[in-house]
């Protein structure tokens, strides 16, 4: 490769598009031609990485090693993992809408159940057994606002964080 050929490659070296064989030829020229090296590196210093030596040949045993593993059957098809993001990207809009609706309904049901538990026992529930946690007589739970189980846990956690329990 002549100096003029190498200098013509300047653009494609920096922006991509030169095949690896061409790149290797340029690299081999740059290793021995300080003039081209100075010109090309002034524009783009990263071209300097080409003056490193060639990469070694692909090890002859590499393909055999991979094929032996494949043929041995030791490669297991991984158990399917529920890939939520993958599902979302590949699913049509009605599936998105159904998933969103299910999520909203679930949250609403959870919220309503929480509200219901704040009202105390209804007329038909007078004989309902006491909250089993009350039997533990934990002060932290007794202090919980409004007495919902979730809030009790949060109250307990807060006190634990403050060194309470």
Partner 1 sequence: MSERDDEDLMRAAGKGDAAAFGEIVSRHQAWAWRVAWRFTGDAAEAEDLVQDAFLKVFEAAPRYRAIASFRTYLHRVVTRRCLDWHRKKRPLLSDRIPEPTDPAPQPDAAAQLRDRERRIRSALDELPADQRLAVVLRYYEGLDASTMATAMGRTPKAVERLLARARKALRPRLQTHLG
Site for Zn ion in 9-38 (CB under 5 A): 33, 36
Q: Using CB under 8 A, pick the residue from 4, 77, 123, 126 that binds partner 1.
A: 77
Minimum Å gap between C-beta 61 and partner 1 is: 9
The region that residue 50 occupies, defined by phi over 0 for left and psi between -120 and 50 for alpha, beta otherwise, is: alpha
Q: Using CB under 8 A, pick the residue from 2, 3, 8, 65 that binds partner 1.
A: 65
Tell me: does residue 55 bind partner 1 (CB under 8 A). Answer: yes
Tell me: does residue 69 bind partner 1 (CB under 8 A). Answer: yes
Minimum Å gap between C-beta 5 and partner 1 is: 16
Select from partner 1, Zn ion, none the partner in contact with residue 3, using the beta carbon and a kind-dependent cut-off of 5 to 8 Å: Zn ion
d(CA 156, CA 142): 10
What is the three-class DSSP state of 125?
helix
| DSSP-assigned states of every residue in 39-81 | HHHHH-GGGGGGGSPPPPPPPTHHHHHHHHHHHTT-PPPPPPP
Q: Using CB under 8 A, pick the residue from 45, 122, 123, 163 that binds partner 1.
A: 45
Question: What is the number of residues in the chain?
Answer: 165
The CA-based angle 17-20-26, given to 5 degrees, is 90
* Segment interacting with partner 1 (CB under 8 A) among 17-25, 113-121, 134-142, 147-155: 17-25
d(CA 165, CA 151): 16
Phi, psi (rounded to 5 degrees) for 128: -65, 140
Q: How many residues bind partner 1 (CB under 8 A)?
A: 42
Tell me: does residue 3 bind Zn ion (CB under 5 A). Answer: yes
Q: Which residues bind partner 1 (CB under 8 A)?
A: 12-20, 22-23, 31, 37-38, 41-42, 44-53, 55-56, 58-59, 62-63, 65-67, 69-71, 75-78
């Amino acid at each position: 490769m002549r100096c003029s050929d190498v200098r013509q490659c300047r653009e494609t070296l920096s922006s991509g598009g030169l095949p690896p064989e061409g790149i290797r030829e340029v690299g081999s020229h740059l290793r021995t031609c300080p003039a081209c090296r100075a010109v090309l590196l002034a524009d783009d210093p990263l071209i300097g990485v080409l003056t490193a030596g060639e990469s070694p040949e692909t090890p002859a045993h590499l393909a055999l090693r991979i094929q032996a593993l494949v043929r041995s059957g030791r490669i297991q098809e991984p158990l399917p993992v529920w890939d939520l993001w993958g599902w979302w990207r590949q699913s049509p809009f009605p599936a998105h809408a159904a998933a969103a609706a299910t999520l909203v309904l679930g949250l609403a049901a959870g919220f309503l159940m929480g509200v219901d538990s704040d009202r105390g026992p209804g007329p038909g529930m007078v004989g309902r057994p006491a909250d089993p946690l009350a039997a533990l007589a934990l002060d932290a739970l007794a202090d919980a606002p409004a007495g919902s189980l979730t809030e009790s846990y949060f109250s307990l956690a807060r006190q634990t964080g403050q060194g309470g329990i």
